[in-house]
Amino acid sequence: MSPSIALTYLFAAALVAGLLLKFWLASRQVRHVARHRDAVPAAFAQTISLAAHQKAAAYTLARSRFGLVEMSWSAAVLLGWTLLGGLDLLNQALRAWLGTGMWQQLALLAAFSVIGGLLELPFSLWQTFKLEAKFGFNNMTLKLWLVDGLKGIVLGALIGLPLAALILWLMEAAGQAWWLWAWAVWVGFNLLLMLIYPTFIAPLFNKFQPLEDVELKTRVTSLMDRCGFAAKGLFVMDGSRRSAHANAYFTGFGASKRVVFYDTLLRQLSPGEVEAVLAHELGHFKHRHVVKRMATMFAISLAGFALLGWLTTRVWFYTGLGVQPNMDAPNSALALLLFMLAVPVFGVFLSPLAAMLSRRHEFEADAYAVAQTSGSDLSAALIKLYKDNASTLTPDPVFVKFYYSHPPASERLARMAPG
């Protein structure tokens, strides 16, 4: 069997196996949540009403069923791009129009992104204006949705095209070690993005106002001083313009670090509860989770670039995934796209490992928060957030191990309980 045919069979088998696995997991989640929807778990009987529990179950079921449809469509689109020849057809059409060279390769990347976005558009609209709206979470108008989309396209073009041009140039000009230079550029870009995102990009989509609540500001500042954490500022973001979901996060690094609270979070939680949530986020920094995740991401990406550097010189890599490579012109853009399409198909089987490490980090951050603030405040805050975000209290255990980046509510609260 030739390497090309072997890759075709391997890719198809991984795609089918991954899809079947996802369907099995989703069906387990649906059955488990539906089976427990009529009774609030004993640990939450005093804090969560049956109506709220049933709303969370209905929301989880609706999202799961929507996810099954979206998952099937994504698999069909992926198959269309690869083994059914969609990417090859697009490449040939642009080559006939633009010839070969940098402009044709950039056009291929841009056209792929535009077509992919259009194919996903109905699902984005449905999720925002049907599913989220049905459960009272969507606050976004169609005008705002369109404006956000337009800003995203312009921003993506302004940032993405120059970066893509630099990577494509390196692939042709930097010799056999191009992948090492390209990786260095990619790492530098991500670090730069973290630096400029809080002050230049995020304000294009949301308004950020300095935290004005004196009591909360005093508590938060005192907490950060105790934890040895310095930030450029405390800000409130108008998250309610788009969604009723609540959150808080840190962004940036070095001198650009900011603490950001959703306005919805401040409306739902007491000052003590907000302080406890912030202490949890500080726990991630104290345990260097952010640095560890970045280091892991950069290490994995280095291996990925090295693999791509090897695959770009193998004709079977292209033909095995449904593309006839250019024999008299660069194939850099084709290689990038095929690699981005193929890697997730195989990477899905590593999801449980990533989820397990993330849950471990969440437990560590919870423990740090309990040590720095009130455990009862953190428990109360989590219960409110689970309730207000309609997060199910009864997820399927196997689904949790595969997908959940945060531990289920029952496990988190049990570890916070005294004694």
Residues noted as catalytic: 281
Amino acid making up residue 155: L
Nearest Cα to Cα of residue 61 among 43, 37, 44: 37
DSSP secondary structure letters along 93-129: HHHHHH-SSHHHHHHHHHHHHHHHHHHHHHHHHHIII
How far the first Cα of the chain sits from its last, in Å, is 62
For residues 388 and 265, give the distance between their C-alpha atoms in angstroms, rounded to a whole number: 10
For residues 211 and 229, give the distance between their C-alpha atoms in angstroms, rounded to a whole number: 17
For residues 195 and 169, give the distance between their C-alpha atoms in angstroms, rounded to a whole number: 25
For residues 325 and 335, give the distance between their C-alpha atoms in angstroms, rounded to a whole number: 9
DSSP secondary structure letters along 269-303: S-HHHHHHHHHHHHHHHHTTHHHHHHHHHHHHHHH
